C-alpha cells in the first residue's frame, strides 16, 4: 500500500474507532422510556469529548448529530422527544469527522424485549452485511457486493431498499462510488486496494419501496412494515479488507450482553 493509502487508513481507523465507541455507549442507555433525542445528546457529547465532530450536524441542513430510526423508519430519522417503548427496534447511525477524515457506522438496538420477527429481520440484515464484507478484496466488483446481500436477504423473504446506498468516504462524508446493496455478480466498477467506503444495507420486512416524510429527511417503508440497517466503514487492503468500525467491546450485534 502506498504512503497515501496507509495515511488514509490510519486516519479512518481513528474516526471509525470513535464512531463505534459512541455506539458502545448507546448500548448502555437504550431502554423503554428514553427519548430518541437523549441518544443524540449522548452521541454529540461523546464525539466532542473525543476531539471530533459529528458530521451529520448541519449536513445539508440536517438538524441533529445522529440519525435515530425506529421501527418502520428506514433511515435518516431525526432524533426528537419521541419516547421509545418496549418492543421497538431502532437504528442509530453516527458519523465522526476526526482530523479531517470520516468514519460512518450504524447498528440496530432492541428496546426491551422485541418480537421474533423483528429479531429475524435484524439478524438477516447483519448477516447480509457481513457476508458481503467477507468477499471484499482487490478486483471484486460493486455488483458482487449487491448480489451477495440481495441473494441472502431475498432467500429469507425480506427485501433490499433501492433508494439509498453505501458510499465512498474519506475527507468527504459521501464520495464516489455508490455501493448498491442489490445487483448482479461481476457487474459494476472494480474495487481497488486503498478504496474506503461504507456498506449499509437497509432491509424491509415487506416491500422495498420507501417514502420521505414532510420533514424532508425521515425515510419510511411505504407499506409501514419494519426496516433494519447496519453500517460499517471498510477499506480494501493488498490481500483482503479492514473493517474500521468494529466494536472494541464485541457489541456489534444485539442483544448486547453488558
Ligand atoms: N450516516 C448516513 C449514511 O450512512 C447519512 C446521514 S446524512 C444525515 O450515509 F444528514 F442524515 F445525517
Ligand atoms: Co453511510
Ligand atoms: Co451512516
Which regions of 76-194 does DSSP assign to beta strands (E)? Answer: 89-98, 101-110, 159-160, 166-168, 175-179
- Name the 3-class secondary structure at 193: coil
* DSSP letter, residue 61: G
Ligand 1 test: best mutation among 54, 57, 173, 244, most atoms within 8 Å of CB?
173
- Residue 159: the pLDDT is 98
User: Is 67 close to ligand 1, i.e. is its CB under 6 Å away?
Assistant: yes
Indicate which ligand has the atom closest to the C-alpha of 105.
Answer: 3
Is omega for the bond preceding 230 within 30 degrees of 0, making it cis? no
User: Is 19 close to ligand 1, i.e. is its CB under 6 Å away?
Assistant: no
253 CB neighbour count, 10 Å cutoff: 16
User: Is 40 close to ligand 1, i.e. is its CB under 6 Å away?
Assistant: no
pLDDT (tens digit per residue) in 186-220: 999 999 999 999 999 999 999 999 999 999 999 99
Query: Between helices 142-155 and 116-134, what is the axis angle to 10°?
Result: 150
Report, as ranges of residue numbers, the positions in the chain whose pLDDT lies below 70: 258
User: Is 95 close to ligand 1, i.e. is its CB under 6 Å away?
Assistant: yes
Do residues 19 and 95 make contact, with C-beta atoms less than 8 angstroms apart? Answer: yes
User: Is 53 close to ligand 1, i.e. is its CB under 6 Å away?
Assistant: no
Contacts (Cβ under 8 Å, ≥6 apart) of 114: 87, 88, 89
Q: Using CB atoms within 10 A of its CB, is residue 82 exposed (0-12), middle (13-18) or buried (19+)?
A: middle
- Residue 257: the pLDDT is 80
- Name the 3-class secondary structure at 154: helix
Closest approach atom of ligand 1 to CA 62: 10
Alpha-carbon distance of 163 to 180, in angstroms, equals: 9
| pTM for the model | 0.98
Alpha-carbon distance of 200 to 165, in angstroms, equals: 7
- Residue 5: the pLDDT is 96
Q: Using CB atoms within 10 A of its CB, is residue 84 exposed (0-12), middle (13-18) or buried (19+)?
A: buried
Q: Give me the torsion for CA of 137, 199, 107, 217, rounded to 10°.
A: 170
Do residues 111 and 30 make contact, with C-beta atoms less than 8 angstroms apart? Answer: yes
Amino acid at each position: 500500500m502506498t504512503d497515501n493509502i496507509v495515511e488514509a487508513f490510519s486516519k479512518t481507523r481513528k474516526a471509525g474507532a470513535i464512531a463505534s465507541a459512541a455506539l458502545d455507549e448507546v448500548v448502555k442507555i437504550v431502554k423503554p422510556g428514553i427519548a430518541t433525542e437523549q441518544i443524540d445528546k449522548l452521541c454529540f457529547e461523546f464525539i466532542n469529548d473525543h476531539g471530533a465532530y459529528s458530521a451529520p450536524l448541519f449536513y445539508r441542513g440536517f438538524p441533529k448529530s445522529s440519525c435515530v430510526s425506529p421501527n418502520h423508519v428506514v433511515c435518516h430519522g431525526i432524533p426528537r422527544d419521541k419516547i421509545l417503548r418496549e418492543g421497538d427496534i431502532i437504528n442509530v447511525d453516527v458519523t465522526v469527522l476526526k482530523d479531517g477524515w470520516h468514519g460512518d457506522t450504524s447498528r440496530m438496538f432492541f428496546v426491551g424485549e422485541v418480537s421474533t420477527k423483528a429479531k429475524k429481520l435484524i439478524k438477516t440484515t447483519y448477516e447480509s452485511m457481513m457476508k458481503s464484507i467477507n468477499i471484499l478484496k482487490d478486483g471484486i466488483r460493486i455488483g458482487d457486493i449487491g448480489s451477495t446481500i440481495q441473494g441472502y436477504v431475498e432467500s429469507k423473504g425480506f427485501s433490499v431498499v433501492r433508494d439509498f446506498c453505501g458510499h465512498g468516504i474519506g475527507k468527504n462524508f459521501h464520495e464516489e462510488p455508490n455501493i448498491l446493496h442489490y445487483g448482479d455478480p461481476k457487474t459494476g466498477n472494480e474495487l481497488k486496494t486503498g478504496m474506503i467506503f461504507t456498506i449499509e444495507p437497509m432491509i424491509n420486512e415487506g416491500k422495498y419501496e420507501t417514502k420521505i416524510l414532510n420533514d424532508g429527511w425521515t425515510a419510511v417503508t411505504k407499506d409501514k412494515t419494519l426496516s433494519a440497517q447496519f453500517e460499517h466503514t471498510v477499506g480494501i487492503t493488498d490481500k483482503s479488507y479492514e473493517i474500521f468500525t468494529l466494536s472494541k467491546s464485541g457489541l456489534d450485534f444485539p442483544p448486547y450482553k453488558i
